[in-house]
Amino acid sequence: MLIQLFKNYFLSEKPPGATIADLNLELDPRVSIETLRTYNFTRNEIIHYSFLTLVFVFSFSIIPVSFFLVKLPIICLFCLILLIPFTSQFFLNALPVLAWVALFFSSPNISSIHKPAITVKVLPAVETILYGDNLSQILATSTNSVLDILAWLPYGIIHFSLPFIVAGIIFLWGPPTALRSFAFAFGYMNLFGVIIQLLFPAAPPWYKILHGLDPANYSMLGSPGGLARIDTLLHVDLYTTNFSKNSPVVFGAFPSLHSGSATMDALFLTYLFPKFAPLFVFYVTWLWWSTMYLTHHYFIDVIAGSLLSFVVFLYTKYKHLPVNESRAKNRWSYAEIRKLNLFKMDPLKLSLDSDVDQGYKPAISGTRTRSSSLHNPANGIEMNFMSRQAQSPVKDLQTENTAAPLTAGSSGSISPDASSVFESELPRSISRSSNTSATSVESQFDLGVAPSTSNKSRTD
């Protein structure tokens, strides 16, 4: 019954022969080992994996448990999960998230001798100087049970469940490989956030309420802040004990990862459903208010969290995230994915000719600049990524100058510089529908072959 429903809804538009949306069901680790032996890592991949390995090694090294009894079995299990193609397709892409979780929960084991000094005044001072007043303090002064529940919903309930819901929505309704972009952005945002919290420990607003602006030290306990009222209201101990005694980062007010996560959720949901952007913005502002009302963050913290999210999302959007085709029904509607080319999308590129002699050279010339890696996958069309990931090295089709013949304008957030199987002006019959259409007219376009017979072929 469920399978039939799945086939009727999700697979109804699946192009014949398309495999890009399929999961890799291979269980043999030797396939991954063989792939690894011949795989050529890019510079960015080397930096990515080296950095994450460092975080894992650091996190593991400070956990006070037996190496042979606990750490070694975990490491072996982890390696096995990464080597089995079926599990690796999830866990390999979730590494930034896992690294963040590992660092966050192991951070209490860092000796306070090695931790930086805790600031108490900086955040409230900066909040007043940049935003005109102690906004967080003002919003937390007037409390009642209704507002408590309104604040608790986004802070204590939606915040923890939404990333999983967003991930599920992206997997089902986003283009293939979009979920790994979400994992990359969400993981790195939180990882950078925790690193900043550890390097710049700062007292949250509840500290000011309890201790004023007195100097802080690491022997001080945390506090649930306004969440203690929720415990009282519900007659449970959801937060009081956890925040008082078990909080991994007590002085981690800056930046707010609640704000960062909400912003990342909102950005990816806007990417999928642009029409609902105001709703997602409302959610972020609702969560901002709740963090301040519950005395967990200053306004500067929530802004910093959102800025961190925004910057990481922009990088991911231009580097990894496939274009969300507005006419695609769901994940299985895709026969191929396209990526943005920030240089080709430049709305001011017409003025570049006159700018070259003034010093600005667009990186599409082929010379390597500090940002040249950003346009490597640009406009690239990935086909059958999953099967290739397991069986052979990734080999993207680069279509640098092939967009024009099929381009019929932009739709939504889609680049006007890339061809699409979802262009409304073109009959569906000519769209590339599978990896078997290597000699089709569309492939000629993609490979830069002049479309001399295109009109005839279209009518065929």
**Interacting residue ranges for other proteins, rule: CB under 8 A:** 112, 115-122, 124-126, 128-135, 138-139, 141-142, 212-219, 285, 288-289, 292, 299, 303, 306-307, 310-311, 314, 318, 342-343, 345-351, 354-355, 358-360, 362-363, 369-371, 374, 410, 415-416
Nearer to other proteins, 169 or 342 (CB): 342
Nearer to other proteins, 119 or 398 (CB): 119
- The DSSP secondary-structure symbol of 294 reads T
Nearer to other proteins, 326 or 410 (CB): 410
Cα 224 to Cα 243: distance, rounded to the nearest angstrom: 5
Side-chain half-sphere exposure of 119, counting CA atoms within 13 A = 15
Min. distance of Cβ 247 from other proteins in angstroms?
A: 17
Query: Tokens 């906004």 appear where?
Result: 135
Nearer to other proteins, 153 or 364 (CB): 364
| Assigned token pair, 129 | 């100087």
Residue 412 Ramachandran class (φ > 0 left, ψ -120 to 50 alpha, else beta): left
Cα 93 to Cα 385: distance, rounded to the nearest angstrom: 14
Min. distance of Cβ 326 from other proteins in angstroms?
A: 15
Nearest to 394 by CA among 449, 296, 320: 320
Min. distance of Cβ 129 from other proteins in angstroms?
A: 5
DSSP labels for 387-422? HHHHHS---PBP-TT--TTT-----TT--TTS--TT
* CA distances for 43 relative to 230, 316, 340, 415, angstroms: 49, 16, 20, 26
- Counted residue by residue, the chain has a size of 460
* CA distances for 441 relative to 152, 333, 422, 452, 454, angstroms: 56, 20, 16, 10, 7
Min. distance of Cβ 261 from other proteins in angstroms?
A: 15
Min. distance of Cβ 136 from other proteins in angstroms?
A: 9
Phi and psi at residue 337, to the nearest 5°: -125, 150
Min. distance of Cβ 146 from other proteins in angstroms?
A: 13
Query: Tokens 């209201």 appear where?
Result: 233
Min. distance of Cβ 112 from other proteins in angstroms?
A: 6
Nearer to other proteins, 10 or 218 (CB): 218
- 35 by DSSP, 3-state: which? helix
| Element of type H or E holding 382 | strand 381-382
Residue 21, burial from CB neighbour count under 10 angstroms (0-12, 13-18, 19+) = buried
Min. distance of Cβ 373 from other proteins in angstroms?
A: 11
Cα 276 to Cα 298: distance, rounded to the nearest angstrom: 28
Nearer to other proteins, 313 or 332 (CB): 313
Min. distance of Cβ 198 from other proteins in angstroms?
A: 13
* Residue 142 bridge partners (DSSP): none
* CA distances for 25 relative to 16, 322, 387, angstroms: 20, 23, 10
Nearer to other proteins, 101 or 210 (CB): 210
Cα 238 to Cα 148: distance, rounded to the nearest angstrom: 14
Nearer to other proteins, 144 or 429 (CB): 144
Nearer to other proteins, 45 or 355 (CB): 355
Min. distance of Cβ 81 from other proteins in angstroms?
A: 37
Nearer to other proteins, 102 or 403 (CB): 403
- 338 by DSSP, 3-state: which? strand
- 337 by DSSP, 3-state: which? strand
Cα 165 to Cα 70: distance, rounded to the nearest angstrom: 32
| Assigned token pair, 44 | 């960015």
Min. distance of Cβ 119 from other proteins in angstroms?
A: 4
Nearer to other proteins, 89 or 415 (CB): 415
